[in-house]
């Protein structure tokens, strides 16, 4: 086994510890990727704070890009030297969800405690979200990896692995937005900005961003929002409807995990509209609705995990849009940090102003 450096969580809520861990070689169907960049997602922070439980010690991180440096037996379509994006979407390919075209809902469990990493003394170390990418290298299933052009900066490419596919996919795949329809995006952070981009790319008529910060609403306009509404208004949905010409939205994309946002989301909808639930509140948090209203006017609510993407289908066209200048990635990066600065990068992310902070590796 190789020895590499990683940021390890030993106790929920404590700072991550940079230490040496052990990682085995790739086995059947697996690839080893030496990472150039890994972005910090709010899901990583929530896990490290204990919001959803999980096994410890653990290595988090799941939004990464790098170079394939080894391949296991049976790997097809990937070779040493390939530039790749690494996602948390591990699929078996044969369960009802995978076979039905919904790989983000793969029903085959993965035991992160039995993954490819160990502590320096050979003890259990949990590979969180099937990735464990707050580390110099990862060994993951080939289903989690998509080859990209070597010309694309890895820091920018890493964002595609989660924030971009989640936001864009929520609009294109989950909401199935048609050209000319109207969208409200609640939350103008990393995922929200990508939902706004997805709505613009899909041909939305009007795109209303809702956020607590006027500065973030201004950024949202740079990414394609046609209007901005402060969530601090007493009834922000009324301002959104005014921006939409006096009607409700065809789709409301909730990209934050705030219960208040979820409880208000249906109020932004027009007849037949749909709320797409993307942001993830802490376990046990509850929201309430008046079902008769949704039933009477044909509205709906649906969850969307990772933008309902099929990564081998969706990531290549998103990469192509970036290459054409039609999908912003570079502009999403708020700061670049070293692995040794990961706790500072997490603190900056929790401050709320960051779009995406990225850990970059020198090699």
CATH 3.90.180.10 positions along the chain are 2-151+329-360
- Distance CA(135)–CA(158), nearest Å, equals 14
Domain 2-151+329-360 falls in which CATH fold?
Quinone Oxidoreductase; Chain A, domain 1 (3.90.180)
The Cα 238–Cα 230 span in angstroms is 11
Mean pLDDT by 10 residues, the chain (363 residues): 97 98 98 98 94 96 98 97 98 96 96 97 97 98 98 97 97 97 96 97 98 96 98 95 97 96 97 97 92 95 97 97 97 97 96 91 82
In this prediction the pTM is 0.94
- CATH class (in words) of the domain with range 167-304: alpha beta
Residue indicated by tokens 């409880």 = 263
Across the chain, which distance is largest between two alpha carbons, in Å?
64
Ramachandran assignment for 13, one of left (phi > 0), alpha (psi -120 to 50 degrees), beta (any other)? left
CATH 3.40.50.720 in the chain, residues?
167-304
Residue 352 confidence (pLDDT): 82
Q: Containing H/E element for 59?
A: strand 58-59
């Amino acid at each position: 086994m190789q020895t590499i450096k990683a940021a390890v969580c030993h106790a929920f809520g404590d700072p991550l510890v940079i230490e040496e861990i052990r990682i085995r070689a790739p086995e059947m169907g697996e690839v080893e990727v030496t990472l150039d960049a890994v972005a910090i997602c709010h899901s990583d922070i929530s896990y490290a704070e204990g919001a959803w439980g999980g096994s410890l010690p653990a290595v988090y991180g799941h939004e990464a890009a790098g170079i394939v440096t080894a391949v296991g037996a049976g790997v097809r379509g990937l070779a040493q030297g390939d530039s790749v994006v690494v996602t948390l979407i591990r699929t078996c390919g044969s369960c009802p969800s995978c076979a039905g075209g919904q790989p983000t809902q793969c029903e085959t469990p993965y035991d992160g405690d039995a993954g490819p990493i160990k502590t320096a003394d050979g003890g259990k170390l949990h590979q969180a979200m099937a990735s464990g990418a707050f580390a110099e290298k990862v060994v993951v299933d080939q289903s989690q990896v998509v080859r990209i052009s070597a010309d694309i900066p890895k820091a920018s490419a890493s964002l595609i692995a989660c924030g971009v596919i989640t936001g864009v996919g929520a609009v294109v795949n989950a909401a199935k937005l048609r050209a000319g329809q109207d969208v409200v995006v609640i939350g103008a952070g990393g995922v929200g900005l990508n939902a706004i981009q997805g709505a613009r790319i899909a041909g939305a008529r009007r795109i209303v961003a809702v956020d607590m910060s006027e500065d973030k609403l201004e950024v949202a306009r740079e990414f394609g929002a046609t209007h901005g509404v402060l969530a601090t208004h007493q009834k922000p949905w009324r301002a959104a409807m005014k921006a939409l010409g006096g009607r409700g939205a065809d789709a409301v994309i909730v990209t934050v995990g705030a219960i208040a946002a979820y409880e208000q989301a249906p109020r932004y909808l027009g007849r037949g509209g749909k709320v797409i639930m993307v942001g993830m509140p802490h376990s046990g948090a509850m929201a309430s609705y008046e079902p008769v209203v949704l039933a009477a006017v044909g509205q709906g609510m649906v969850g969307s995990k990772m933008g309902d993407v099929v990564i081998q289908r969706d990531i290549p066209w998103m990469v192509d849009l970036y290459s054409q200048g039609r999908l912003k990635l570079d502009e999403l990066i708020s700061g670049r940090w070293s692995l040794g600065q990961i706790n500072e990068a997490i603190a900056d992310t929790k401050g709320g102003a960051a779009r995406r902070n990225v850990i970059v590796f020198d090699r």
